[in-house]
Amino acid sequence: MADVRGAIKQALDLGAISYDAVKHLVLCRIEKRPPRLDLEIYPYLPKARVETTDPASYLSLMSEVPA
Protein backbone atom coordinates (compact mmCIF):
# COMPACT_ATOMS: atom_id res chain seq x y z
CA MET A 1 0.00 0.00 0.00
CA ALA A 2 2.89 2.38 0.66
CA ASP A 3 4.06 1.96 -2.94
CA VAL A 4 0.55 2.69 -4.23
CA ARG A 5 0.15 5.76 -2.01
CA GLY A 6 3.56 7.06 -3.06
CA ALA A 7 2.85 6.45 -6.73
CA ILE A 8 -0.49 8.24 -6.53
CA LYS A 9 1.13 11.23 -4.84
CA GLN A 10 3.88 11.26 -7.46
CA ALA A 11 1.32 11.01 -10.29
CA LEU A 12 -0.63 13.94 -8.83
CA ASP A 13 2.58 15.97 -8.60
CA LEU A 14 3.29 15.18 -12.25
CA GLY A 15 -0.28 15.90 -13.30
CA ALA A 16 -0.63 12.39 -14.71
CA ILE A 17 -3.47 10.68 -12.90
CA SER A 18 -4.34 7.93 -15.35
CA TYR A 19 -4.41 4.28 -14.31
CA ASP A 20 -1.46 3.56 -16.61
CA ALA A 21 0.67 6.33 -15.11
CA VAL A 22 0.02 5.17 -11.54
CA LYS A 23 0.63 1.54 -12.51
CA HIS A 24 3.92 2.50 -14.16
CA LEU A 25 5.02 4.45 -11.08
CA VAL A 26 4.08 1.59 -8.74
CA LEU A 27 6.04 -0.92 -10.82
CA CYS A 28 9.06 1.40 -10.87
CA ARG A 29 8.94 1.63 -7.09
CA ILE A 30 8.69 -2.16 -6.71
CA GLU A 31 11.45 -2.84 -9.25
CA LYS A 32 13.61 0.00 -7.85
CA ARG A 33 14.10 1.68 -11.22
CA PRO A 34 13.53 5.28 -12.28
CA PRO A 35 10.21 6.09 -13.92
CA ARG A 36 10.17 6.96 -17.61
CA LEU A 37 7.13 9.17 -17.54
CA ASP A 38 7.98 12.38 -19.40
CA LEU A 39 4.81 14.31 -20.20
CA GLU A 40 6.76 16.98 -22.10
CA ILE A 41 6.84 14.69 -25.15
CA TYR A 42 3.02 14.42 -25.06
CA PRO A 43 1.86 18.07 -25.12
CA TYR A 44 -1.61 17.09 -26.39
CA LEU A 45 -2.46 15.16 -23.21
CA PRO A 46 -4.58 17.16 -20.78
CA LYS A 47 -2.97 18.17 -17.51
CA ALA A 48 -4.91 17.20 -14.42
CA ARG A 49 -5.69 19.82 -11.80
CA VAL A 50 -6.93 18.21 -8.61
CA GLU A 51 -8.01 20.38 -5.71
CA THR A 52 -8.97 19.49 -2.16
CA THR A 53 -12.68 19.65 -1.43
CA ASP A 54 -13.78 21.70 1.55
CA PRO A 55 -15.62 19.32 3.90
CA ALA A 56 -18.25 22.01 4.50
CA SER A 57 -19.32 21.55 0.88
CA TYR A 58 -20.88 18.22 1.86
CA LEU A 59 -23.16 19.76 4.46
CA SER A 60 -25.76 20.50 1.79
CA LEU A 61 -26.05 16.75 1.25
CA MET A 62 -26.94 16.30 4.89
CA SER A 63 -29.82 18.80 4.96
CA GLU A 64 -33.39 17.56 4.77
CA VAL A 65 -35.25 17.94 1.53
CA PRO A 66 -38.90 19.04 1.92
CA ALA A 67 -41.30 16.31 0.83
1-48 residue pLDDT tens:
999 999 999 988 888 878 888 999 999 999 999 988 776 766 666 776
Q: Does 65 fall in a domain?
A: no
Q: Does 64 fall in a domain?
A: no
Q: Kindly report whether the global pTM for this prediction surpasses the value 0.75.
A: no
Q: Which domain holds residue 20?
A: 2-59
Determine the Cα–Cα distance for residues 22 and 43; give it in Å rounded to an integer. 19
CA proximity to 12, closest of 1, 21, 23: 21
Q: Give the pLDDT score at 5.
A: 95
**Domains in the chain, number:** 1
